[in-house]
Amino acid sequence: MGLDISVMIADWEWLGGVPPRERLARLRNAWYADETGLWDIDAPPPAGDWEWPQGPDAACFAVYDFPRTAGSYKAHFWAGERWERLRPHADPRSRTDLDALLLGLIWGGFDGEAQHIDPGFFSEDPEVSHGLLVARSPGSVRELALVWERAGPRLGGLRAAFTEHAAAPGGWVGEFDEFVDLLEGWGRVLAEASRRGWGIVGVSG
């Protein structure tokens, strides 16, 4: 579980301009462009939690920087673990919506088999899609954004149950506010991607 994760919103038409086997490479190549890419040392510092690339693909994708996670996938994994402990004590509406939200993004479910990648858009060849952790098309994004709109305002009502049943002070996402911060970050990602009609891609390394 030593993976990092970089979560991006991306223009699906731009990615779809090349065959499925080449799409992840297109995103990575634009992301790591040596002279005009995201990490151009001469570029101004990013504003807020979003990092926008430089150069010719600047309008095609952006990376969301989840606060206080140091880019580690562990925070997202442990948010799912905390939810497993919390969910039996959540009200039914919150349970239904957070199940859908987290199963769609980061939680493997009780059997660990939940899929976070929409079929068909990226290649299913593991050598080509190595490192792909999340891939949601604009349609999936819109559905998850609607779920978040319902679930987000009710998170505060879970504080007592989280503290009693899911808290792990000192651990990853061990406090309720950390749990909420992470989910609100995903909410911002979903809202921005949905507003633009874009998809979401999460890659490791």
Going residue by residue through the chain (205 aa), what tens digit of pLDDT does each one get?
458 999 999 999 999 999 999 999 999 888 876 554 444 444 444 445 888 887 778 889 999 999 889 889 999 999 999 999 999 999 999 999 999 999 999 999 988 889 999 999 999 999 999 999 999 999 999 999 999 999 999 999 999 999 999 999 999 999 999 999 999 999 999 999 999 999 999 998 6
**Residue 28 in domain:** yes
Residue 164 covered by a domain: yes
Residue 151 within any structural domain of the chain: yes
Question: DSSP states of 77-146 as a string?
Answer: HHHHHHHHHHGGGS-HHHHHHHHHHHHHHT--TTTT----B-TTTS---TTTSTTEEEEE-HHHHHHHHH
Q: Which domain holds residue 24?
A: 6-33+65-203
pTM of the model: 0.91
The total number of structural domains in the chain stands at 1
